[in-house]
Chains A and B, each alone.
Chain A
Amino acid sequence: MKFSLRIASFSAPIIALAISFGLSSLILLFIGKDPIETFQIMFEYGIKGKSIVSIINRSIPLYISAIAVAVGFKMGLFNIGVEGQYLVGSIVAAFVGSQFSIITPLHILFIILIAVACSAMWAAIAGYLKVKKGIHEVISTIMLNYIGTGLISYSLTNVFDEKGSEYELPRTPELPETGQMPALNNLFRLEDLQDLHGFLFVAIIVGIFYYWLVWKTTLGFDLRITGSNPVAAKFSGINPNRLIVVAMVTSGGFAGLVGLGPLLGYFHRFTIDFPTGLGFAGIAVALLGRNHPFGMGVGALLFAFLERSSQILDLNDVPKEIERMLQAFILLIVVVFYEVIRRFIVKQQIKDASKKVET
């Protein structure tokens, strides 16, 4: 692609961002708040050291969740079930991981494997239903979300609970110290701040792995051509059913990692206040980042930044719901502009190609 076209494709999210802030400003003006002052407060709060650590911690699971969704998107599969998948994987991994103790790297690796396996299996159900029974994955994954959360509520009090605990709280036993992931604060000399989750490294590796898988491997190639033209994909020898199951299991496998940042880095057990909603937020981030590992990274950081910085608004008498609106504006507008830019690029290419024919 020509350099100028690359620039053009980057402009979409920036334009969307500008328009979204503009629209949110209008709403702020309408309710009698000063938009510039509001955004200034948010920004100043958001770049405080404490905030930055919290933003990074939050963006880790958001990013992985987006990747899980993107794997499906790339072949035209809508895995709406990342939510259920990561919760199921997290609770099983939290419980099993708390039952033994081996040296830290192995212990953590083991917990990761359990979470990935459980989430992948949970996602495989939807893949199986689609291939064998023709049930659309949106329906089945949404239903599996309900079933998953129902099972979690039940087993949190009846199966995986902390036996012999004097409080009888609905929570799994705490992970032994060997199963807790060390924070990165020493590494980055952040002694006086809260823990920076060690899972950050895993997220970066996951991003690179996702890029390699989708853009470099032949499996990824099959995924992408099935996503853009299922008929041609079939004519090229791809077995669509096999690929649906593979994609679903891969997406679920990534989903298994979503809950592990908070689990290994902070909660150390599955409790009723374990973070939920990350699966749905991941869909938004995947859309915003256009399924690209770098784009989704920026998207996850942006959303985490908005979430964090809006915390200060309540103290300044501005409804923090403005942040939700801002997120929604960005998403809506960015989708439109991606399409505008895509058409622009295609037009440019057609122009170049017809020039070539004339000569």
Chain B
Amino acid sequence: MNLAINTKNISKSYPGVLANSNVSVQIEKSSIHAIVGENGAGKSTLMKILYGMTKPDQGEIEVFDQSASMSSPKEAINLGIGMVHQHFMLAKNLTVLENIILGIDKPSIKNLGLKKYKKLIEEVMSTYSLDIDLDMFVEDLSVGEKQRVEIIKVLFRGAKILILDEPTAVLVPQEVNELFKNLNNLKQNGVTIIFISHKLDEVLEIADDISVMRAGELIDSVKNENVSKTELAEMMIGKSLPTPPPRTTETKQNKILDIKSVTSESVDGRKFFTDVSFSVFESEILGIAGVEGNGQKEVVESIIGIQNIESGEIFFNGENINNKTTRQRLESGISFIPEDRQLQAMIMDMNLTNNVIIGRQNIEKYKSNLATVKTKNAIKESENVISLFDVKTPNTNTLATALSGGNQQKFVVGRELEDNPSLLIASQPTRGIDIGAQSLIWEKLRQSRDNGLAVLLISADLEELIGLSDRIIVFYQGSTVKELSSDDVSPEDLGGYMTGLKK
């Protein structure tokens, strides 16, 4: 077999997470090889390793039958590996031509040689039948055209292996067709394409071979002809799902959060989610399942008022909160654990006493009549959180940045569970933290639920989602496609709805 890339037992771990575990994948020359898997399955880590952005802890890589050890993208490019990122790296105020040659020469006062390059680029374009106006400014291009510029840029640098990171995520359907036509052309001309995606339809349409990753492992590599969509979905989700522990308390009939046909779109008119309706009851954990990027994040942000909604109504404790500010919503009893603790939940260069106030700056507990911060209460509260949630820290005066990820997250969860909220929105509450912290957070969430808290849980970790939730709703392409009970959910069902296979 003629291989473009052959990896042998690649492993890579980050603190607390095994991102790639013994990954061995063979990618044939002049083929389109798709790598599918959920977010967090390890696709991106594998790509970063292949593109020289990070080094594997162990394992070997062969590129065109030569053993390769890359420590920078530059070395990868020299070996003929190019990458098209999901977010384009283009300067919009330069022309296509200028963008393509950007960074090729060392900075000097010599003439840029635009004419010479234009000719060379046009040759590359005709070889691979790619078409674009080189004199256009990048800002005037459509998204699909920008992507083509990125592809030409990489090919012009001599790439024979092209890594495309979720290339269709940003495209409209017509552009997807155009891209696939171009990719097939490239394949005919001897280019090897690695296509990362979690959209099974597209993968089955374009790929020759498909590798499935789950939880850092390569589950299997199969030929397109030999696999069905159902089988792929099953491989992605896994065969066995955990069974949730039985609960002794019951969900109450009282609707805490009630969302009625809410729609939201981006500034340029792309729909984040459409006509979404669901409720969370008192003493219930409602899980939201879905492959990332299907609107869950935006739904959460519209509940706390950061994302604008076009239509529909949001009721909290029976009251319409459409016109309330984020601050009013948080103060009226909605707690929020954002998915990125360092970026969204904490101020890393402030101490824990200050961090405990965040999101509650204006409640009576922390704000005196003179509009000053009640520091004593803040110290007391942070000590409280530290002891209840077993946060390992020297004292309350320690900067947030000094704590480990798990301790930071325990602190954030503790902060949000204080003050008896009636609704908790927990977005990826245990992502990237150690098992000890994870089980403590799970336990605390269950306890709070039993005491009456309504929880909306968004998680990409199926064990967490099924283990904690009382009900699960599935998001696909900005809509709720299905409600499942976590007691008898099957991998086929969950995978099917999450990937759009079942409707």
Contacts and interface: CB of A to CB of B under 8 A. Distances in A.
B354 interface: yes
Interface string A322-359: 00000000000000000000000010011011111100
Contacts of A219: 371
Q: Is the interface of A mostly helix, strand, loop or mixed?
A: helix
A225 interface: yes
B398 A235 contact: no
B398 A352 contact: yes
Contacts, number: 101
Interface string A204-244: 00000000100011110110110011011011111100000
A234 B358 CA distance: 10
A1 interface: yes
A216 B357 CA distance: 13
B18 interface: no
Contacts of B343: 229, 231-232
Contact of B366 (A216, A218, A224, A225): A218
B344 A218 contact: no
A346 B373 contact: no
B361 to A, nearest CB: 5
Contacts of A236: 330, 358-359, 361
A255 B345 CA distance: 34
B402 A357 contact: no
B399 A349 contact: yes
Contacts of A352: 394, 398, 402
Interface in B112-170: none
B325 A239 contact: yes
Contact of A346 (B326, B357, B399): B399
Interface string B382-413: 00000000001110011101111001000000
B362 interface: yes
B346 interface: yes
Nearest to A234: B306
A237 B325 contact: yes
B190 to A, nearest CB: 45
Given A218-B371, A236-B361, A353 B347 contact: no
Contact of A218 (B347, B359, B361): B361
Q: How large is the interface on A (under 10, 10 to 19, 20 to 34, 35 or more residues)?
A: 20 to 34
Nearest to B327: A237
Contacts of A1: 397
Given A218-B371, A225-B350, A353 B402 contact: yes
B487 interface: no
B262 to A, nearest CB: 20
Given A353-B394, A353-B404, A238 B327 contact: yes
A124 to B, nearest CB: 21
A294 B427 CA distance: 42
Interface string B331-351: 100001010000111111110
Interface string A1-21: 100000000000000000000
A90 to B, nearest CB: 30
A221 B378 CA distance: 13
A76 to B, nearest CB: 12
A4 to B, nearest CB: 14
A58 B371 CA distance: 34
B323 interface: no
Interface in B164-220: none
Q: Is the interface of B mostly helix, strand, loop or mixed?
A: loop
Nearest to A354: B404
Given A218-B373, A225-B350, A346 B361 contact: no
A350 B371 CA distance: 33
Contacts of A222: 361
A229 B357 CA distance: 14
B248 interface: no
Contacts of B331: 237
Nearest to A225: B347
Contacts of A225: 347, 350, 354, 358
Nearest to A215: B373
Contacts of B306: 234-235
A225 B348 CA distance: 10
Contacts of A231: 343-344
B359 A217 contact: no
B372 interface: yes
A352 B228 CA distance: 54
A179 to B, nearest CB: 32
B344 A349 contact: no
A219 B344 CA distance: 20
B373 A349 contact: no
Interface in A30-63: none
B367 interface: yes
B228 to A, nearest CB: 42
Interface string B317-328: 000000001111
Given A222-B361, A225-B347, A232-B358, 7 more contacts: A217-B372, A228-B348, A237-B330, A237-B361, A239-B327, A346-B401, A353-B393
Interface of B: 304, 306, 325-331, 336, 338, 343-350, 354, 357-359, 361-362, 366-367, 370-373, 392-394, 397-399, 401-404, 407
The 7 closest A-B pairs by CB, nearest first: A237-B327, A349-B402, A236-B359, A353-B402, A237-B326, A357-B392, A350-B402
15 contacts: A216-B372, A216-B373, A217-B370, A217-B372, A225-B354, A229-B348, A232-B345, A232-B346, A232-B358, A236-B359, A346-B402, A352-B402, A353-B392, A353-B398, A356-B394
Interface of A: 1, 212, 216-219, 221-222, 224-225, 228-229, 231-232, 234-239, 346, 349-350, 352-357
